């Protein structure tokens, strides 16, 4: 009886999503977030877009980011963010919603 290796060769990975899930910063587990009105209340530390045009709905996100106070009187994020594919955005995510696209949120 042969055992399946826990470590895959790059040729065994099926697509870009699986490659991102296999990245070293994703070893704790991850949640794939898709477009919709759903609010994802997963505690995470890294958000990565896996589809072009992924847009973060900052009005429905809880993260420890603030905008430049000279640009916003409140210091609270107000501008939705288009996330470049594959670029990690680090923060203390407690709630995430996206308006378009798909993203992976790596859990703590």
**Secondary structure (DSSP) of 60-102:** G-B-S----TTT-SS-S--S-EEEPBT-EEEEEESBB-EEESE
Buried b (16+ CB within 10 A) or exposed e, 15-32: eeeeebbeeeebeeebee
The segment with the largest mean pLDDT, out of 22-26, 60-64, 90-94, is 90-94
Is residue 19 pLDDT above 80, yes or no?
A: no
Q: What is the pLDDT at residue 90?
A: 92
59 or 36, higher pLDDT: 59
Least confident piece of the model among 21-25, 77-81, 96-100: 21-25
């Amino acid at each position: 009886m042969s055992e399946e290796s826990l470590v895959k060769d790059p040729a065994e990975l099926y697509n870009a999503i699986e490659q991102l899930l296999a990245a070293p910063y994703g070893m704790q587990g991850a949640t794939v977030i898709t477009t919709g009105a759903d609010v994802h209340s997963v505690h995470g530390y890294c958000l990565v877009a896996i589809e072009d045009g992924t847009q973060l709905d900052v009005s429905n996100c809880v993260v420890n980011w603030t905008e430049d106070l000279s640009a916003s009187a409140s210091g609270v994020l107000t501008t939705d963010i288009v996330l470049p594919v594959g670029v990690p955005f680090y923060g203390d995510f407690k709630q995430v919603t996206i308006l378009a696209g798909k993203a992976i949120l790596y859990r703590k």
